[in-house]
């Protein structure tokens, strides 16, 4: 099988070593969203309802939130081991690299510029002119329908689905696998994700070094 022309990565838990860029804000603000997360995974609430609930919890705790407060939540977050090397090597081979994330755009944008990826999309907030949070923006990426963004990327770059490989760590990331394309489950973060990968029969890489996916991108080739 020929190597890919494009690799589309999830961000949280794949290119970055954090669990969730939404969770990072809760940890920093001393709030939590466990119950809503469970409802979200069970598909009882959608991305927009989840984001609205997060924002109301933060506002309730902090009164108001500045853009800089959000950026500061990510000061301790690191890139996944091997992420820089994998992205560089892909781009050196002429492979397009994109991020499709339902995470927080302030964070995903930081990762995108650190890694100099070709394209990225994520969810985010509306800010007033002084940088204070107004509320969540309507979702740009639906966690369980990430294929919509992958398909848009495919069309813009005139690619065949067969030329695309997506990489994600969450069960919802399987939705990145548009028909005809491939998917790699990387370092599944939760048991529901591992179960979802298994029932979708996708290759699973249990490692916290992104270089481990290389033999699956380019059949049998070591990094």
What's the closest the beta carbon of residue 19 comes to Mg ion, in angstroms? Answer: 8
Single out the segment in contact with Mg ion by CB under 5 A; choices: 1-9, 142-150, 161-169, 203-211: 161-169
Q: Which of 4, 7, 9, 12 binds Mg ion (CB under 5 A)?
A: 12
105 binds Mg ion (CB under 5 A): no
For the chain, helix (H) and strand (E) counts, in that order, are 9, 8
Q: Residue 102 or 181: which CB sits closer to Mg ion?
A: 102
Of 85, 100, 84, residue with least CA distance to 164: 100
Q: Which of 170, 181, 187, 193 binds Mg ion (CB under 5 A)?
A: 170
**Closest of 155, 123, 145, 139 to residue 11, by C-alpha:** 123
Does 13 participate in binding Mg ion (rule CB under 5 A)?
yes
In this structure, the strands spanning 164-168 and 182-186 are: parallel
Among 4, 7, 8, 10, binds Mg ion (CB under 5 A): 10
| Pair 150, 158: CB distance under 8 Å | no
Cα angle 72, 77, 78 (rounded to 5 degrees) comes to 140
- List the one residue from 33, 169, 210, 214 that touches Mg ion (CB under 5 A): 169
47 binds Mg ion (CB under 5 A): no
- Toward Mg ion, which CB reaches closer, 13 or 147? 13
| Lookup result for tokens 């994600």 | 168
Under the rule (CB under 5 A), what is the footprint of Mg ion? 10, 12-13, 169-170
């Amino acid at each position: 099988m020929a190597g890919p022309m494009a690799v589309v990565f999830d961000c949280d838990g794949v290119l970055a070593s954090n669990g969730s860029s939404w969770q990072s804000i809760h940890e920093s603000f001393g709030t939590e969203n466990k119950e809503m997360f469970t409802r979200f995974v069970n598909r009882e609430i959608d991305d927009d309802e989840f984001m609205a609930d997060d924002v109301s919890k933060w506002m309730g705790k902090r009164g108001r939130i500045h853009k800089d407060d959000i950026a500061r939540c990510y000061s301790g977050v690191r890139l996944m081991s091997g992420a820089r090397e994998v992205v560089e090597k892909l781009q050196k081979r002429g492979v397009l690299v994109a991020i499709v994330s339902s995470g927080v755009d302030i964070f995903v944008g930081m990762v995108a510029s650190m890694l100099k990826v070709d394209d990225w999309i994520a969810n985010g907030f509306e800010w007033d002119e002084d940088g204070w949070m107004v509320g969540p923006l309507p979702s740009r990426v639906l966690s369980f329908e990430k294929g919509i963004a992958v398909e848009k990327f495919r069309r813009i770059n005139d690619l065949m689905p067969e030329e695309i490989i997506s990489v994600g760590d969450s069960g919802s990331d399987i939705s990145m696998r548009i028909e005809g394309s491939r998917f790699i489950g990387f370092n599944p973060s939760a048991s529901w994700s591992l179960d979802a990968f298994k029932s979708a029969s996708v290759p699973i890489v249990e490692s916290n070094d992104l270089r481990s996916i290389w033999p699956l991108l380019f059949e049998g080739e070591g990094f």
